[in-house]
Structure 1
Amino acid sequence: MYFAALLARTQDGWEASDTELDDVETLSDLTDLAREASVDEDTVLVFIEQEDAWFGLVRVEGEEDPRIYVSDAASAARSSYGEILTNELLGRDNDDPADDLDTLDLDGTEDGEPDVETEDDTELDEIVAVGELVPAGPVGDRDILTDLGLSEKELLALETEALPEIAEALGASEVLEAVR
């Protein structure tokens, strides 16, 4: 199960809204969604969290390229929205992202996903459908929130259910709670 929220910076602080990702098939779609929420091309943060697995941040400022951070690339790569972020971070091209999304169940797992195990019976979390390795652990811009009050060290220490801690550091706890 996913939770997604947008935090848009305004002159009066942060405005939060939960958001539906149903129409998001590419990073461009996600970036456009963030830009629509922007006030005067100021900072917008998109939070995507998959329960007990991973969280991702996309920071959009005006027309600049988005900055991305994913807490666990191997877990995220196995989910539809996480795959969008990890593909961008790892420099992979999706020939037709719609084809990939059609094979994914939006609860974060692939239809009919087999349990893949190694000879010592441990699951291979790093292997995605195409057989390429994805690093376990965080990937992306670790300084994504440094100027907003959350250091790289603090970001790396966060695990699942990180959104409330991030909102606290940004001074946006109350507005986030209103949409959560």
Structure 2
Amino acid sequence: MSETELESVETLADLADLAREAAQDDDTVLVFIEQEDAWFAVVRVDGEEDPRIFVSDAAAAARSSYGDVVLTEELVGRAGDSEFDDLDNLVTELEDSEDAELADDEEDEEESPATGPGGVPVGPLGDAELLSEFGVAAKDLLDLSGEGAEPGDALAEIADALGCAEVLEAVR
């Protein structure tokens, strides 16, 4: 797929349809999206199944033009069901109670550092296992999404591990 073809994509369904058109038979198609070297996404389309999505930084994606495509309501809503959400809430509550003891009553409440625009979580979001059967473990994918990681370098490493680095470089 080219950047030109992606310009007509407005929804995840549009992207999945475009991927299916590019597929040979019902083969798996992987779509790599990198935006302004701030975040990346991998979308996996297996035949007619629902696409699987991994986003390296959901909050950064929410601020970009392709964010609407990959940050579906289902994906962002599922983030609120995470086992880490309870831990994040507990940490936030503890921090808030400590801050309340130290802060003036007139001080404005700040946005939680765990969420970005519209309550979208900061950091990785989605199915980190989507490349595991191709040799890229969830831990490796999450490590490539960590703080200080460059999305372009991360995608290059992923493509190299998948044996498609030349294809990625050809479309960049």
TM-score by length of 2: 0.70
The DSSP-based 3-state class of the residue aligned with 1:58 is strand
Greater C-alpha radius of gyration: 2
* Matched residues, number: 136
82-91 vs 164-173, which moves further: 82-91
How many angstroms does 1:121 deviate by?
A: 9.2
1:137 corresponds to 2:129: no
Residue 164 of structure 1 corresponds to 156
Correspondence 1:1-180 to 2 at 5 A:
17-20=1-4, 21-88=6-73, 89-91=75-77, 126-128=115-117, 132-158=118-144, 159=149, 160-161=151-152, 162-180=154-172
- Looking at structure 1, the residues matched to 77 and 20 of structure 2 have their Cα atoms a distance apart, in angstroms, of 23
What amino acid is aligned across from residue 132 of structure 2 in structure 1? T
How many angstroms does 1:86 deviate by?
A: 1.5
CA RMSD, 1 decimal: 2.5
Gaps of 5+ in 1: 1-16, 93-117
Percent of aligned pairs sharing the same letter: 60
Higher helix share: 2
Higher strand share: 1
- Looking at structure 2, the residues matched to 124 and 154 of structure 1 have their Cα atoms a distance apart, in angstroms, of 24
TM-score by length of 1: 0.67
Q: Is the 8 A contact 1:67 1:141 kept in 2?
A: yes
Q: CA separation of 1:52/1:121 partners in 2, compared to 1, >3 Å: closer, same or farther?
A: farther
